[in-house]
Amino acid sequence: MKPVVIFLLVAAAGIGLAVLAWRAREKRRQAFRAFALAHGLEYAIDDPFGTIDIPFGLFRKGDGRGIENVVWGRWREAPMRFFDHWYYEQSTDSKGHTSRTYYRQSCVLVEVAAQFPHLSITREGFFSRLADHLGFRDIEFESEDFNKAFQVGASERRFAFELIDARLMAWLLTLEWGMFEVLGSWALVYVKGRRAPAEFAPVIELAEAFRGRIPRAAWSLYGAGNEGTKGEQA
C-alpha cells in the first residue's frame, strides 16, 4: 500500500474519531441542559464560578485539568452544584513522543455553614497501600477496618479526629462508592467516571447525607449559626 494511501486512511480515521467525540460531547451537553430545565436549575457548558480554583486535592491532580457541564441551583431547598471534572497526566516515551492519560469524575459540591480546614477521605488503593508499607502513612484511626478502606489526609490533624468520629466511620464503611473532601465552606463528593445527569441524584443524596453526619464537635469549633443542630442524623 502506497504511503499516501496510508496517510489518507489514517487521516480519515482521525477525523472519524473526532466527529464521534464531538457528537458524544454534544449529546451529553444536551442531556445536562434538559435535566437542568426539568428541575428548575441553571446550566453552563463551562464553569462560570471558577470552581477549579478551590484548592481541593482532586482539583490539583494531573498536568492539566478542567470542569464542564455545570448545573447549579437549589436541590431540596439546599444550594448545590454538580459537574464533570477531568484531569490528565502527560508522559513522554524514549523517542520523545508525548501522550496523555485522562481521568474523569462526576462531582457534587454543597455548601456548609462553616470554615473547615482541608480534609480528604479517599479510598485505599494499591499505590496508597504501597505508600503505607514504605512508611508514608496517612492519618489512622482506632478502627482497623476503616484504616484499610480509607485514606485520610488533613491540613490539621486534630480536625480529622473531630470530623471523623465513630458514627461517621461506621456510616462510611457501609458505602460502596464515593470520595469526600471538605474545605472552607464547601463539601465535595465525587465518584470515578462520567454519570448521566439523571444518575447524579444518588451522588447528591450522598453529599447531603455526608453533610448531615458532620459531628457537633466539628460544627462547634468551625461552624456558624445553628448548623450543629442539623448534624449527626441517624
Q: Structural domain boundaries of the chain?
A: 1-38, 41-230
At 162, list the grid cell. 473531630
Q: Which of 202, 197, 200, 199 is nearest to 27 (CA)?
A: 197
* Rounded CA separation 97/95 (Å): 6
Does residue 156 register a pLDDT over 50? Answer: yes
- What average pLDDT score do residues 54-59 get? 95
pLDDT for position 64:
95
pLDDT for position 131:
39
Residue 227 is which amino acid? E
- What average pLDDT score do residues 160-170 get? 96
Percent of the chain with pLDDT over 90: 67
Q: Which of 108, 123, 112, 127 is nearest to 188 (CA)?
A: 108
**pLDDT band (50, 70, 90) for residue 132:** very low
Does residue 130 register a pLDDT over 80? Answer: no
pLDDT for position 231:
45
Residue 4 is which amino acid? V
The chain-wide mean pLDDT, for the chain, equals: 84
Q: Global pTM?
A: 0.82
Radius of gyration of the chain (CA): 21
CB 208 within 8 A of CB 185: no
pLDDT for position 14:
56
Does residue 76 register a pLDDT over 80? Answer: no
